[in-house]
Structure 1
Amino acid sequence: MTLDHIVPLDGFRALAILIVFVAHCGLERLIPGGFGVTIFFFLSGYLITTLLRSEYAQTGRIDIKAFYIRRSVRILPSLYITLLLILGISQWLPAEHPAEFWGVFSQLVFLTNYPWITGYAQGVTGPPLWSLAVEEHFYLIFPVVFSAILAALSPRKAAGLCLGACIAVLGIRLATVATISDIGQVYYWTHTRIDSILFGCCLALWQNPVLDKGAWRPRLVHVLFALAILLGCFAIRDELFRQTVRYTLQGGALFVIFSYAIQDRGWVSIALSTRPLRVIALYSYTLYLIHVPVIAGVHALFPTLGLLGIIGISGALSMLYAAGMYALVEQPAANWRRRLRSSSRTAALAI
């Protein structure tokens, strides 16, 4: 298991996209689709911070430029190709709200979770890009903060600062819901959701299962308690709770669950590393981009199709598109990113 490929994370990545996909197919009242996004957030924070820690330990510095290049090559090609494809198809279909320039622009530059900036202009219908915007805002800021402040601190102090930031974001959420009428907007904004990523950073900085010898290993009772917290978050429907404390409780619970799963060598590890989940994880980014437009298209073409039919056809079409994108775009880009990371580390060690 390498830092670039921590096997249990494949399972979490696959479960996250499956939760989101099934919810969007019409089961959102039973399946907590938003929790799938929260899993994505936590995973991103953990993985990126783990890689940054490793790079700093090996080279004594963080190559910010190389980081931004790698993230751009990872994110932008699939995103722009998918948006262009959907935009092209939409020109041949009747649309109640056709795409507008500033709406598409906001999607291209990751502003969709702050739609007022571009005057609420209509973008390409379909891809749920608000969550991608939150992650990209994190990627833009966090490596600089890590390089300038966190890298020089002990892991405990660095994690403490991230935890303090999580508490500050909770305070921002509480203050925000007290001053706005549509508190559901808290779900989308970077400054009110970024703590879901920062909780993953906390695990990467303190008691990291793959970097820290003797890292804390949760016992089964801890995992059961964490699962009980998650179930409670799903069961409580009060909107004030859901848009404030829920994300904090979920972040703490995921800290325990991720730590346990990454260190497990039993049935949990086996379940998270099965081939179907690994394949879905491999395609997860493009699946996230394409599944909503595909579901909408299946609904339009087969209006009387049942739920299982929608899930089956939409899933097959989304996987087919994602497999093609992986072979033609993502895999070549990944190979290039690995070469870039290797060359940047070699150059830094030679200084």
Structure 2
Amino acid sequence: MPHPGDPRPAAMPYLPQLDGVRALAILIVFAAHCGYSHVVPGGFGVTIFFFLSGYLITTLLRIERARTGAVSLPAFYLRRSLRILPPMYLTLLASGALYAAGLLDWMPVAPAAVLGQVIFLTNYPGLFGTEAVLPVPLWSLAIEEHFYLVFPLAFVLWLGRLAPRRATLACLGLCAVVLAIRCSNVWRLPDYSLNYSWTHTRIDAILFGCCLGLWNNPVISADRAWRPALWQVAASLAVILGTLAVRDPAFRESLRYTLQSAALFVPFAYLLHGEGPLVRLLASRPMRRLGLWSYSFYLAHMTVVALVLHLRPGLHGFGLMLVAFPVTLLWCWGMYALVERPCARLRRRLLADRPPEPSLAEDGRRAGVTPA
């Protein structure tokens, strides 16, 4: 049964500014992979995606439990599978075909590493003895998949039975455990760089998003949720910039992720209230459209960059971005029209009895993409 303090919203509303956040995150990652990683923090773009995933999944689970009295795990896993797997496997197939044809400027690829990508274990390269993967960045998606497998079950059996404040404290406790593991690795491992990609050393970024989903969530209780002031948003962004300025490897692979993820609580809480010039900028039509395609963009952009570099080896930096960006968008448009939107319709048909989540078709209308 729902916790007595939980409200009963009908469904997860569509929040256009969150599509803008996705767009901002993918632009950060894209710029880093086009040669600007020394000035553009691509890893922070991934941290934004992690935080957003934790927030959205927790909010959806709370709404479903409040509305129906229970969470359907089969429905959750079916929804996630239809959302994630078709675009991912098709992108892997396309990348593999281009590599086999000799059209990618990329390292030699090992079949064992590709198997790790297929089964969501590429972020643990030690299991396969190689990191020679196809240019599809699935280490971060592997972390999210591991979260999707475990967190809904934990919510049903444990977290969802607690008061929101106590559930938040439980998530914060898990974040502290993850930080302790990272610090231990820095102290005892000669090479602790894989703190960056292991699930058990990066999942706290998702859990901090869960905290916002559980406590002071403007979607769940807008009248009672904390509304940050602009100076508080500025202070949190200053903390994030400070973490990016520190170049010490031990700090970067330990405390940095905690500080960044905790600081993201403030700007996300501000944006979710849906007011202010930053919200309007992120909810603008170009940002919404790119955010709508951000998943396919993330999957495909490194393969496109490798293809462009094979065809035009002299390109780098801004010139590389100018060529690779529209090509990646073309892939996203085809993936959205031929795969993502049909899968969204299938999800709605199969899960008609469950509380709806914002659909791709609804998002498309609001982003100016006319659905079929």
Residue identity matched to 2:96? L
Distance of 2:186 and 2:115 partners within structure 1: 29
Structure showing the higher helix proportion among its residues: 1
Distance of 1:223 and 1:235 partners within structure 2: 19
**RMSD between aligned residues:** 1.7
SS of corresponding position for 1:237: coil
Distance of 2:97 and 2:259 partners within structure 1: 42
- 1:343 is aligned to 353
Counterpart selection for 1:241 from 239, 248, 251: 251
Cα deviation for residue 297 of structure 1 reads 1.4
Unaligned runs of 5+ in 1: 347-351
Q: Write out per-residue CA displacement over residues 183-221 of structure 1, whole angstroms, 9 at most, x where no aligned residue.
A: 211000000000000000000000001102310111112
Distance of 1:75 and 1:118 partners within structure 2: 23
- 2:228 is aligned to 218
- Residue range with higher mean Cα deviation, 295-304 or 197-206: 295-304
- 1:36 is aligned to 45
Q: Write out per-residue CA displacement over residues 275-328 of structure 1, whole angstroms, 9 at most, x where no aligned residue.
A: 111111111011111101111111121122352221011000000001100000
Distance of 1:187 and 1:73 partners within structure 2: 28
- 1:46 is aligned to 55
Q: Write out per-residue CA displacement over residues 12-57 of structure 1, whole angstroms, 9 at most, x where no aligned residue.
A: 1110000000110000011001000000000000001000000000
Matching of residues 177-256 of structure 1 within 5 Å = 177-212=186-221, 213-256=223-266
Counterpart selection for 1:330 from 329, 333, 340: 340
Q: Write out per-residue CA displacement over residues 157-182 of structure 1, whole angstroms, 9 at most, x where no aligned residue.
A: 11110011111111111111111111
- 2:276 is aligned to 266
Unaligned runs of 5+ in 2: 1-9, 357-372
- 1:285 is aligned to 295
TM-score by length of 1: 0.94
- 2:118 is aligned to 108
Counterpart selection for 1:70 from 63, 76, 79: 79
Distance of 1:100 and 1:29 partners within structure 2: 28
- 2:364 is aligned to none
Distance of 1:52 and 1:342 partners within structure 2: 16
Cα deviation for residue 2 of structure 1 reads 6.1
- Are 1:169 and 2:178 matched, yes or no? yes
Distance of 1:129 and 1:40 partners within structure 2: 13
Cα deviation for residue 98 of structure 1 reads 4.3
- 1:349 is aligned to none
Asked whether the equivalents of residues 103 and 307 of structure 2 are also in contact (C-alpha less than 8 Å), the reply is: no
Residue identity matched to 2:87? S
- 1:307 is aligned to 317
Percent identity between the aligned chains?
50
TM-score by length of 2: 0.89
Cα deviation for residue 333 of structure 1 reads 0.8
Distance of 1:313 and 1:121 partners within structure 2: 27
Cα deviation for residue 344 of structure 1 reads 3.3
